[in-house]
């Protein structure tokens, strides 16, 4: 009888531990996932308003490619890194468009359609520009109209 009681106590203890670990894991996932969604939506808002590469993207690319940093004396390296950065931003913009098409974060279908059309328009603009043109502040058609 004592062995049975210890076995039940062990199973109950493991169940309590599993429940607590699950709750902690869900809380952490919500916190980290929420931050990622917030960053994504902030970048999307920046792109739609300014039609330019967000500062967080530029900073990450400058860390990765020294040819983008101010004062880089190597013209060949600078040109190569600008081309790589341009491709990386176009790829990231494509991911944002996919996110906007599939995300449940958007309020309704009308808002989703407007957001996707804005992002697709920016994609077309960026494809016709150089890296410097993509990074130019207030280069968007909405900013020029005001």
Q: What is the DSSP string of 31-54?
A: HHHHHHHHHHHHHHHHHHHH-S--
State the pLDDT at residue 138.
58
Instruction: Report how far residue 18's alpha carbon sits from residue 113's, in angstroms, rounded to the nearest whole number.
Output: 42
pLDDT (tens digit per residue) in 33-47: 678 878 888 899 999
Q: Is the pTM value of this prediction over 0.85?
A: no
State the pLDDT at residue 37.
79
Q: What is the mean pLDDT of the chain?
A: 81
Three-state DSSP at 138 gives coil
Instruction: Report how far residue 115's alpha carbon sits from residue 31's, in angstroms, rounded to the nearest whole number.
Output: 25
pLDDT (tens digit per residue) in 76-132: 887 888 889 999 999 999 999 999 998 887 778 888 899 999 999 999 999 999 988
Q: Name the residue ranges covered by the structural domains of the chain.
A: 40-145
Instruction: Report how far residue 59's alpha carbon sits from residue 134's, in angstroms, rounded to the nearest whole number.
Output: 14
């Amino acid at each position: 009888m004592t062995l049975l009681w210890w076995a039940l106590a062990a199973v109950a203890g493991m169940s309590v531990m599993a429940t607590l670990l699950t709750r902690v894991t869900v809380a952490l996932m919500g916190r980290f996932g929420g931050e990622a969604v917030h960053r994504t939506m902030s970048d999307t808002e920046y792109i739609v308003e300014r039609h330019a590469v967000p500062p967080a993207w530029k900073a990450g690319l400058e860390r990765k490619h020294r040819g983008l940093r101010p004062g880089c004396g190597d013209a060949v390296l600078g040109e190569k890194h600008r081309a790589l950065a341009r491709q990386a931003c176009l790829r990231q913009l494509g991911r944002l468009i996919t996110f906007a098409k599939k995300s449940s974060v958007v309020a309704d279908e009308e808002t989703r359609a407007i957001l996707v059309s804005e992002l697709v328009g920016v994609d077309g603009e960026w494809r016709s520009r150089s890296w410097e043109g993509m990074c130019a502040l207030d280069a968007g058609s909405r900013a020029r109209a005001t």
